[in-house]
Amino acid sequence: MKGGEVPLHSCTGQGVELEIIWPESPLGLHWTWDWGDGEKGHGITVRHTYQSEGKFTILASAIAGSETYSLSETITIHQTIVPEIQEALLCASTPAWLKVKEGEKRVAIEWSFGGKIMFGDSVFFLVEKEGNVNVLMKMSDRNGCLSSRETTVAVRPVPKADFDWNITGIKENEVAFYERSEGANLMFEWSFGQKKYSMEADPIVVFENSEMQEVKLKVFNTSGCSAESIKEIIAQSPILDIQARDMQIETMANSLSLHTKIKNNGNFPLMELGIECMAGAVTIANEKWTGRLMPGMEAEILTPIVSADLLAEDICLSISAMGNPFRESTPEDNVICRTTGDKRLEVYPPFPNPGDNHLFLRFINKERGTVNITITDNYGSIVQELLDADVGTGFHQYFLNIGDLANGKYIIVLGIGEIKKAVNFIKVG
């Protein structure tokens, strides 16, 4: 009897294949099998699957005339353990662990979900979007039994936590909080420090003093998923006082950068600064600086502003504090303007401005060279090329046809060699 020989052990649910190999036996015998579990079989090569564990005696027999031929072997069948996944709360974009149910003996486990294959008793699970995810788990135990389980796990939606606040001015150190979270059927858990808590959506809190406090809002949805927002506040009217010094506009790698030192002379941390670049009356760049500038502290920043191709006769930069509690506020003394300082090319404002189908552009060129005139949109993309020729020195006036342009704001960029100037106009009609 050979399977090749009879295996000493196997597992429930997994087939055992056997074959009679007995050279001394007559040919053409009809073999009958008794698997020891009440099941029978016939043939030289047979296959059987045991449904229960234990030790079984396998008997194969055949009769030829008065002769009886028989073989027997004992096989041990181990119970195959079908793994179970331990229940876990799975929330979108939130790390979690998938685990095999405690107490199950195993040697190796392979997980497959979301196009990933991982190994181990527990695996790191992270799915960005809510919905159903198919999970396939394969397991082998110390007896060599193989099993698998395929199931669908639900990835639940995650809320977004956020809040604002205002000083009420009614009582000393009184602050009103307003939740600005995203999600349906939310529950709220506030922690204000000073052993103050609330579960209201929009609580009002009186603090013991006006020192800085860390406020935490934790929101839960009905699925059990949660999110947090943590901010620092002071329970007094915020004073905005930004001091900017050594402000310089630098040209680096064909781009403009603002290099300056900022000091927070107010009474509230600055978390975000807005930097606006103006060419005349047109905003040609908006940048943000994100950091943490505590009251009395100073920071040095270098922020890219805009392509040097958009250099204008006058460029002004303004610095503003953004976000709660300032929303957006620009102190007047934090505006800096700079001219190009190059008088070899002087460009005058176009007229009429606004214009409908045409306008006139006047300039004085004090050096001979090829004059290039283009019209760009507010983002610096060229929408019309007007001139690329040597026009000589002196005063020049050009008629510009703008009838094909869509209504909106534009910039005329005029250049001679490395010198560039720009003026703004508005197309109407």
Structure tokens at 297: 């502290």
Q: Give CA–CA dist 137/251, Å, rounded.
A: 59
Q: Note the pLDDT of residue 199.
A: 95
Residues with Cβ < 8 Å from 60, sequence gap 6 or more? 1, 18, 20, 31, 32, 33, 34, 70, 71, 72
Domains and CATH numbers, the chain: 9-78 (2.60.40.10), 96-155 (2.60.40.10), 163-234 (2.60.40.10), 242-339 (2.60.40.10), 345-427 (2.60.40.3080)
Q: Give CA–CA dist 168/174, Å, rounded.
A: 6
Q: Note the pLDDT of residue 312.
A: 45
Of the candidates 417, 369, 421, the one whose C-alpha atom is nearest the C-alpha of residue 392 is: 369
Q: Note the pLDDT of residue 280.
A: 56
Q: Give CA–CA dist 366/357, Å, rounded.
A: 30
Structure tokens at 411: 């910039």
Strands 9-11 and 67-78: parallel
Residue with tokens 């096989």: 75
Q: How far is CA 138 from CA 232, 324, 349, in A?
A: 48, 51, 75
Question: At 342, which amino acid appears?
Answer: D
Contact 267, 236 (CB under 8 A): yes
pLDDT per residue, tens digit, the chain (429 aa), is 443 444 578 899 888 888 887 777 777 788 899 999 999 999 888 999 999 999 999 998 988 878 888 888 899 999 888 778 877 788 988 888 888 876 556 677 888 887 788 888 788 888 888 888 888 888 888 888 888 888 888 899 999 999 998 888 788 888 999 999 999 999 999 999 878 899 999 999 999 888 888 999 999 999 899 999 999 888 877 777 887 777 676 655 556 676 788 888 887 778 788 877 776 555 666 778 788 888 888 888 877 765 544 444 456 777 778 766 665 566 655 666 665 556 678 788 888 888 888 899 988 888 888 888 999 887 778 899 988 888 888 888 888 899 899 998 888 888 887 777 777 888 987
DSSP helix/strand/coil, 337: strand
Q: Note the pLDDT of residue 409.
A: 86
DSSP helix/strand/coil, 310: helix
Q: Give CA–CA dist 40/300, Å, rounded.
A: 87
pTM, 2 dp: 0.48
Burial of 13 (0-12, 13-18, 19+ CB in 10 A): middle
